[in-house]
Amino acid sequence: MSVFRRVLRPVAVAAAVLALSAGTAVAGAAHAAVGSASCGWINIGSPGNYTLGGSYAGQVEQEYNTCNGQVMAHWQWSSGYRSAHRNAHVVVMAMSWQNYPAVTDRSVDQDAYVSQDVFSGGIDIHVAKPDMWFAYADVYDENGRTCRYAAGGSVHDYATGGNGAPDPSSC
């Protein structure tokens, strides 16, 4: 018998005795442990696409952390654009513009050759009132050209759960 089985068997017996004597309290604790293991980053709403100089550069989407209530922006480069424009860069952030001044997380400015995926810094959704957020991205090619407007993923209202339409950018 392995060392782990010898150690775990008395622990399992003790846990079973506690479960029988404690009733649903242990079942509730076990359920809470399962629930906490399933939290993490999830995509929110629909992504906003960015097309620069007639070429699809990529998309930006909002992500939400179900564990700690933070929001961030996630940019994903188009593989073709990234290969053709290795020195292009993107500025990405999560933003709540209904506040004055607008509330943003820590923006990230990163070149295409660094990584396929770019993530902003993340921020608690309740920092903004109302807590309505969207993901923002502005792409610059290797010559500094950009579209007039940035792309945005759909606005998500954390109070109601509603999503707006994404806001693509194309030039």
Chain segment 32-90, per-residue pLDDT in tens: 333 445 899 999 999 999 999 999 999 999 999 999 999 999 999 999 999 999 999 99
Mean pLDDT of the chain: 82
pLDDT attached to residue 98: 84
pLDDT attached to residue 101: 86
166 burial class (0-12, 13-18, 19+ CB within 10 angstroms)? buried
pLDDT attached to residue 37: 59
Count CB neighbours of 139 within 10 A: 27
Pairing of β 55-65 and β 41-52: antiparallel
**Which is it for the CA torsion 67, 78, 121, 139, positive or negative?**
negative
92 burial class (0-12, 13-18, 19+ CB within 10 angstroms)? buried
Closest CA to 169 of 49, 76, 56: 49
Mean pLDDT, residues 1-26 taken together: 31
**Mapping DSSP to helix (H, G, I), strand (E, B) and coil, where does residue 125 land?**
helix
Place of tokens 């696409």: 49
| Residue 28 pLDDT > 60 | no
Count CB neighbours of 89 within 10 A: 21
| Residue 24 pLDDT > 50 | no
pLDDT attached to residue 99: 79
pTM of the model: 0.76
Q: pLDDT tens-digit profile of 129-150? A: 999 999 999 999 999 999 999 9
Answer whether 158's CB lies under 8 Å from 39's CB. Answer: no
- In angstroms, the CA 98 to CA 10 distance is 58
**Which is it for the CA torsion 148, 154, 157, 158, positive or negative?**
negative
pLDDT attached to residue 133: 97
pLDDT attached to residue 117: 98
**Number of residues written out for the chain:** 171
Answer whether 109's CB lies under 8 Å from 89's CB. Answer: yes
